[in-house]
Structure 1
Amino acid sequence: MDRADIVADLERARAEFHRLLAAADCYDVWTKPTQGTRWTNEQLLFHMVFGYMVVQRLLMLVRMFGRLPGRASATFAWMLNAGTTPFHIVNYYGSCAAATVYNRRRMGPKLDRVVLSLERKVMRESDDSLRRGMHFPPGWDPYFTGYMTLKDVYSYPGRHFDHHTRQLTFGA
């Protein structure tokens, strides 16, 4: 993926998210359980937005660790991976709680702001910075690999989004 492909993928997901919000037209849809998760549709939709919010923070980490010796990020990733079980608990309950704040009325505008920010950032990245990377905790997410470049991190949220879109129980 080059920068234009990343921006196109961000826009694709943003448009699809707004289509999903429009398709969830009644209370029963929002509170209905999802397929393969313990979240409701509303909680999972927030979690999908959260994936983009997380990328904003991951970019800072990759920029920092990408300038350090590889063993620094490898040690950091190892420590995070050791905490995978507590991470999944916090990830689940955090999304449950956060969906009450970033609810169905606030999710779309929040995603719009985050995506716009990511689009601006990726267009300003140098080729060298996009190649810089760090070790990641692969146990935290099926789309994390053991080592990810900044370019990989920009490409990550679309895969996360598509994965969870298939778990929603409406709007297919």
Structure 2
Amino acid sequence: MLQKATFAGGCFWCMVTPFEDLPGIHGIVSGYMGGHLENPTYEEVKKGSTGHYEVVQITFNDEVFPYKKLLDLFWPQIDPTDADGQFQDRGPQYRAAIFVHNESQLAEATASKEELIAGSRFKKPIVTEILQASTFYEAEEYHQDYHKKNPKHYKEDRAMSGRDEFINQNWK
């Protein structure tokens, strides 16, 4: 059965590649969720005043690729202790969050967060929120598969972000 999973992890460009080309993943769309403005544009969201997060929405077959495996891939892409954005991307639109679509996802996301809190990986508190999914607004076409359309810029931006260094130091 196909389901939706929605994750915010800073810039949505960097949140596509960890989930693509996996069995049971039927699509990944960059977009916006959680704000108060209908049909926001990238220009509006990036100002940080709409309340939206940059997110990726994943369509997946839970029987082939369970939600728990998506959570296991999500956490190592972020700094779960940063409440003000992710890496070089600062502001409320770049906060990390898990948007749940049903009670089962809520239970699994909560358990995964509690497991991370109980571990000793981070000295600072885990602040990544678990929120109820709301209306998803698809980002502009030029943001979709950005890493494929603009590989040079994507690689340069990702290298400068500090994301990979953090992942290697804290998750590997």
Q: Do these two structures clear the TM 0.5 threshold for a shared fold by scoring above it? A: no
Determine which structure has the larger strand proportion and give its number: 2
- What TM-score bracket applies, with the shorter chain setting the length? under 0.3
Determine which structure has the larger helix proportion and give its number: 1
Structure number with greater Rg is 1
Greater RCO (CA < 8 Å, at least 6 residues apart): 1
TM-score by length of 2: 0.26
